[in-house]
Structure 1
Amino acid sequence: MIVQCFQIISPTSGKVVSDHPGIRVGAEYPVLEVITTAGRVLFRIPERPDVPVERDTPGLWDAAMFTVVSSRVPDCWAAGLEDGQVTLAPKEWQRPGFWDDYFDGEPTAGAEYERLRAEVLAQA
Structure 2
Amino acid sequence: MIVRCIKIINPATLAVVSEHPAVRIGEEYPVLEVLADRAVVLFRLPDRPGSTDPIDTPGLWDAAMFEVVSDRMPSCWVAELDEGRLTLAPREWQRPGFWEDYFDHVPTAVAEYGRLKAQIVDGA
Q: TM-score range by the shorter chain?
A: over 0.9
**1:85 matched to 2:85:** yes
Normalised by the size of structure 1, how large is the TM-score? 0.95
Give the residue type in structure 2 aligned to 1:83.
E
Specify the alignment match of 1:22 in structure 2.
22
Distance 1:70 1:4, change over 3 A: same
* Displacement over 6 Å in runs of 4+: none
1:15 aligned partner, one-letter code: A
2:22–2:48 Cα contact (<8 Å) kept: no
Q: CA–CA distance in 2 between the matches of 1:5 and 1:82?
A: 28
Contact 2:23 2:48 (C-alpha < 8 Å) held by counterparts: no
Match of 1:63 in 2: 63
Q: Which amino acid aligns with 1:31?
A: V
Q: Percent identity?
A: 61
- Quick check: 1:46–1:58 contact (8 Å CA) kept in 2? yes
SS of 1:57 mapped into structure 2: coil
Instruction: Give the structure 2 partner of residue 106 of structure 1.
Output: 106
Secondary structure class of the residue paired with 1:112: helix
Matched-pair contact (CA < 8 Å) for 1:29–1:49: no
Distance 2:88 2:3 in 1: 15
Provide the TM-score with structure 2 as the length reference.
Answer: 0.95
Matching residue of 2:117: 117
**What is the rounded CA distance, in whole Å, between the counterparts of 2:113 and 2:46 in structure 1?**
11
- Does the 8 Å contact 2:46/2:56 carry over to 1? yes
Aligned-residue offset at 1:9: 0.3
CA deviation after TM superposition for structure 1 residue 55, in Å: 1.3
1:75 and 1:117 mapped to 2: Cα distance? 12
Q: Does 1:31 align with 2:28?
A: no
User: How far 1:50 moved relative to its partner?
Assistant: 7.9
In structure 2, the residue matched to 1:76 is 76
The RMSD of aligned alpha carbons is 1.5
SS in 1 for 2:25: coil
Q: Distance in 1 between matches of 2:83 and 2:50?
A: 34
